[in-house]
Amino acid sequence: MTLSDIAEGLEVVARQRDRGVAVADDTGTPLAERLREHADGLPCTPEATATLVEAYTAGRSVGDAADGAGITPMTAAKALHRCGVAGVTPFAPTRRGIVRDWLDGRLPRSEAVELTGGDEADFALATYVETHDPIPAVERAVDAYLAGGGPLGRGLGSGSRGTGGLGSGALGTGGLGSGALGTADLGDALGTPEDLR
């Protein structure tokens, strides 16, 4: 059987209208307005989150961006995580596994805190990150903001914003504790021995 045999008897009785390409461009919509419908899932107001994202994507540290938004560095780190910024957790994968073990009831909290370095604030942030996923609609809103003229253009996470992500004291002075996202945590993540730093 050939194609002409298959097509025998077929005829076109109507023409398809060319309706053009549908365009939905809301890149001019302010970020705070885009975040408003997801306010219940954010740890701070949409306005504070928008101010935070704008400052952080302009290269300011989490601590400085938090000050500009009128929130604490801990709340800022939580908000950035919910916006889809990768690398907000203060722990390397092994330490995050310890937090998950505690959440699953395999370790007592005191032991989990001790095994992760003993810093309560870091442990609290890591717990938040493990129990709250980024909000996909908020991630898309932040992506659209960045694509529409945000300071760094496209690209979330993995240290692509600011000055190398959240390491080396990015939370600023008075951040989340003595080891909060500092060099000790980065060394663990990179597998660098103490004496080589």
Q: Are residues 117 and 149 part of one domain?
A: no
Count of residues for the chain?
A: 197
Backbone φ, ψ for residue 7 (5° rounding): -85, -5
What integer pLDDT is reported at residue 121 of this predicted model? 95
Residue 51 backbone dihedrals phi, psi, to 5 degrees: -60, -45
Number of domains the chain is built from: 2
In a domain, 144, yes or no: yes
Helix, strand, coil percent content, the chain, rounded in steps of 5: 50, 0, 50
Whether 27 contacts 147, CB under 8 Å? yes
Q: How confident is the model at residue 160 (pLDDT cuts 50, 70, 90)?
A: very low
pLDDT level of residue 5 (50, 70, 90 thresholds): confident
Same-domain pairing of 109 and 50: no
80, 45: one domain: yes
Please name the amino acid found at residue 4: S
Selection from 90, 114, 96 nearest residue 168 by Cα = 90
* More reliable by pLDDT, 5 or 137: 137
The confidence score (pLDDT) of residue 87 equals: 74
Average pLDDT, the chain: 77
On whether both 44 and 128 belong to a single domain, the answer is: no
Residue pLDDT, tens place only, 98-155:
999 999 999 999 999 999 998 999 999 999 999 999 999 999 999 888 887 655 443 4
Please report the pLDDT score of residue 26 as a whole number.
56
